[in-house]
A = this chain, B = another copy of it.
């Protein structure tokens, strides 16, 4: 016997327009990398019963936008950037996850460069702060679970896609890049092997510039070459660390 819960079109219409509606939100785990540590941008929560907690940045999805668009809107509002990297991670839909009613949320993670422009943008806002991921131990709602799931996805993606660059300044040294991988993946990498590997991928361009005013031998600077990467990708190349 087939149990078919969709009886007919009238029951569909009733259900879509009345019985089975839920609020849908997006929640963004916004990753930034600064001072050799991976941070997330979080906000003071103003909703009971979580008034004294911190929470991820999110909002309800409006009737006229997709969830991707809603996530972009939240990102633009909170970081001031509209070209951030966004990755849809997972839906969280426990029936009791939100105190005010049924809210199904779509989790995204995003990668931003924490630079001076950006810090100026959020600087005046008392409700926003960057906090090292490994120091975030409690958040409102089910946001800790969302954060952990997004962190695992970031770790996986970092090994499979050239996205680490999105957390670094446009110009970076190879050691900076190595440290980023070490911090996020929580592993130790061999300097010589790492450099050989990255160079052999052929997706970095050496800029012919060097670091300035560092109290050690200045490193030469590199940038990620998006065009070459896209070309290589089309001919079957795949990034793998």
| A interface residues with partner B (beta carbon < 8 Å) | 2-6, 8-9, 12-13, 15-17, 19-24, 46-48, 59-68, 73, 76-78, 88, 90-91, 93-95, 98, 100-104, 106, 122, 125, 127-128
For the complex of A and B, the 5 pairs showing the least CB-CB separation, nearest first, are A21-B21, A3-B77, A16-B23, A66-B93, A20-B60
Q: Which of A21, A66, A102, A127 has the most CB of B within 10 A?
A: A21
Chain B positions within 8 Å of A16 at CB level: 23, 60, 98, 100-101, 103
Chain B positions within 8 Å of A98 at CB level: 16
Q: List 7 additional A-B contacts (Cβ < 8 Å) besides A21-B22, A61-B104, A91-B91.
A: A2-B122, A15-B23, A15-B60, A63-B102, A65-B95, A67-B91, A88-B90
- Cβ contacts A to B, 26 pairs, < 8 Å: A2-B125, A3-B76, A4-B77, A5-B73, A9-B48, A9-B100, A12-B100, A16-B60, A16-B98, A16-B100, A17-B23, A17-B100, A19-B63, A20-B61, A20-B62, A20-B63, A21-B22, A21-B23, A22-B23, A24-B24, A24-B93, A63-B102, A66-B94, A67-B91, A67-B93, A88-B90
Q: Which residue of B lies closest to A21 (CB)?
A: B21
Complex contact A2–B128 (CB within 8 A)? yes
> Shortest distance in angstroms between A121's beta carbon and chain B's nearest beta carbon?
8
A20–B100 alpha-carbon span in the complex (Å): 14
Chain B positions within 8 Å of A65 at CB level: 95
Q: Which residue of B lies closest to A15 (CB)?
A: B60
